[in-house]
Amino acid sequence: MYLPEHEIADASPAFPKPDQRLVYGTAGFRTKADVLASTCFRMGIVAALRSLSLDGAAVGLMVTASHNPEPDNGIKMVDSMGQMLAPEWEPLCTAVANAETVDELIRELRRIVDAFRLDGTNEPHVVYAWDTRPSSPALVDAIRAGLRAMGAKSTEGGLLTTPQLHYLVLASNTLQSPKPFGEPTEQGYYRKLADAYVAVAGDRRPPPLVVDCANGVGTRALQGLLHVLPPNTLEITALRTAVGERGQLNAGCGADFVKTQQRLPNGYADESAVQPGTLMCSFDGDADRIVFYYLTGPASDPASFHLLDGDKIASLAADYLADLVKTTGLPLQLGCVQTAYANGASTAYLEAKVPITCTKTGVKHLHHAAEQYDVGVYFEANGHGTVLFSPRAMEQLEQAMANAEGAKAAALRELLSLAVMINQTVGDALSDMLLVLVILSARAWDARAWDACYTDLPNRLAKVSVRDRTVFQTTDAERRLTSPATLQAQIDELVRAVPSGRAFVRPSGTEDCVRVYAEAAGSEDAERLVRQVSELVSSSA
Ligand code: NG1
Ligand code: ZN
């Protein structure tokens, strides 16, 4: 069995374990950057072991805390086919991260080596990348030390978005396959996206778009893409592009700010590109999320702000793709996957058109549920999502293409190009942006026409700090609490009193808090409901 114990023991003291329990959660490890060095060192080792368990296939490590504040950071692992880490490895990562001593660390690692019968036959391969946080380079050094101790082959992705790293990993592992995913470089990613966009869009003219890059790595990715697209293909104004200016990342801008505050990024009233009717969008800090919005009046008036969130993107995409699938005449089932955070109005709208699944929060749950459909559209309300085409669907589309004509052939061709343009490994702000632009131009819709699909129910999301959030346990895709004992009945009673009321409580998987969501027919009712339920939560824990 294979484990370079001496090398690990020698390198380990440079990365002392902090006095804090760390958990591999929904998005890997995520906490204040200054306690993460030991975790990054150890994840370098675990990633190498994960690669060995996959016969030396490349796996990925991404250093980012996504939409969270700049002083936070995080690390997550990407599996060999570009998907999230296999769930059975999450507790292994947690155990390794929390080993108190070097001996304990070696013991935990040995456990993995024994369980998976890892030997030295293959060389492990790890691809790693990081976001623009000032803390990222030091954490990357820690990863490198872990990889060196393991004698792993490493590929440095550099500053990348999370979805770009997912792309690199999958592309690295399909180089020899009959259908390579793409060239395993950053430029390969841009070219794949750009070529597919040009193939789908043809001479359709998308609406102009103002992009808030959250002062993060999305700035670079957007520029990279625009550089590869033929000149004037897209009419984009990029804002909040201050990469590297301390304290700027996700500060008063970015997808999470816009979604949770339900308003424009700070200072937008002074931007000349920000005009009533103009379509706008915001990326998050690692550019795997996107939300859109527009104004119906002056930027200074909060009432003129209209959000087009992940639910609206899902509705736009599901509707459009369902029409294309119908035109092909193929018996493919298209479905949509949401979480409890999906606006009730979006669920009602979609339910009338396509089958819907509701899953627990966290992309891995949505992704898995979407795989059950031939074409699975999944989006979290916060703007993280994508579309999956099953191997069966791809096969049928390709076969049908061979002798199709007219509208049928056009629909097949478009679906096949969309399947390339859409980053199916994970939500991708750039790829989702192109998807929305392509659909809006095909429909000849502006922001307002898109928004008219349905009207969001007023909603509020609140955070409550509690002593121990593990006390809160849920069932029914997190829509109901089973613990603390009587809390759900009390919530039900509050909800019953509110027209079109809905509320639920769940512990966050990424922050030390409990989240409370409420929606209602009226804005004041939603506000009151979220406050009342939050008070219940505070007093029960
Ligand atoms: P938690 O902290 O478990 O609510 C948040 C988001 C998720 C997901 C993860 C990963 C909300 C309400 N929750 O999870 O949807 O995106 O972060 O980043 O937006
Ligand atoms: Zn993100």
Closest ligand to C-alpha of residue 285 is 2
The answer to whether residue 298 sits within a structural domain is no
E-only strand ranges, 264-418: 279-283, 290-295, 305-308, 334-339, 356-359, 375-379, 385-389
For residue 1, name the pLDDT band (cuts at 50, 70, 90): low
Do 391 and 466 share a domain, yes or no? no
> What does pLDDT average to over the chain?
96
Question: Which of 295, 530, 288, 309 has its CA nearest to residue 429?
Answer: 288
Closest ligand to C-alpha of residue 360 is 1
pLDDT tens per residue across span 378-414: 999 999 999 999 999 999 999 999 999 999 999 999 9
Q: Distance, CA 13 to ligand 2 centroid (Å)?
A: 32
The pTM (predicted TM-score) of the whole model is 0.96
Please, are residues 371 and 356 in contact by the beta-carbon 8 Å criterion?
Answer: no
The set of catalytic residues is 66
Cis peptide before 484 (omega within 30 of 0): yes
The answer to whether residue 165 sits within a structural domain is no
Q: β-strand 305-308 against 72-78: which pairing, if any? A: unpaired
381 is known to lie in a ligand binding site: yes
The answer to whether residue 421 sits within a structural domain is yes
The answer to whether residue 487 sits within a structural domain is yes
Count the domains in the chain. 3
pLDDT tens per residue across span 175-188: 999 989 999 999 99
Q: How many angstroms separate the CA atoms of 193 and 213, rounded?
A: 18
Do 70 and 142 share a domain, yes or no? yes
Do 377 and 490 share a domain, yes or no? no
CATH number at residue 393: 3.40.120.10
Q: Distance, CA 362 to ligand 1 centroid (Å)?
A: 6
Please, are residues 139 and 36 in contact by the beta-carbon 8 Å criterion?
Answer: yes
> By residue range, what is the domain housing residue 80?
5-159
Do 503 and 361 share a domain, yes or no? no
Do 371 and 500 share a domain, yes or no? no
The answer to whether residue 117 sits within a structural domain is yes
Which atom of ligand 1 approaches the CA of 339 most closely? 15
Do 484 and 400 share a domain, yes or no? no
CATH number at residue 508: 3.30.310.50
Last residue within a domain, chosen from 159, 187, 214: 159
Q: Distance, CA 361 to ligand 2 centroid (Å)?
A: 14
The preferred substitution site among 380, 463, 465, 519 for testing ligand 1, maximizing ligand atoms within 8 Å of CB, is: 380
Average pLDDT score over residue span 207-228: 98
Ligand 1 in reach of 515 Cβ (< 6 A): yes
Do 14 and 137 share a domain, yes or no? yes
Do 421 and 350 share a domain, yes or no? yes
Residue nearest to atom 12 of ligand 1 (CA): 341
The answer to whether residue 362 sits within a structural domain is yes
Ligand 1 in reach of 72 Cβ (< 6 A): no
380 is known to lie in a ligand binding site: yes
Question: Which of 320, 298, 254, 54 has its CA nearest to residue 169?
Answer: 54
Do 491 and 420 share a domain, yes or no? no
Tell me 230's DSSP state: P
Q: What letter represents residue 289's amino acid? A: R
Ligand 1 in reach of 174 Cβ (< 6 A): no
Residue nearest to atom 5 of ligand 1 (CA): 510
The answer to whether residue 234 sits within a structural domain is no
pLDDT tens per residue across span 346-355: 999 999 999 9
Do 104 and 14 share a domain, yes or no? yes
Question: Which of 99, 69, 131 has its CA nearest to residue 8?
Answer: 99
Q: Distance, CA 29 to ligand 1 centroid (Å)?
A: 13
The answer to whether residue 86 sits within a structural domain is yes
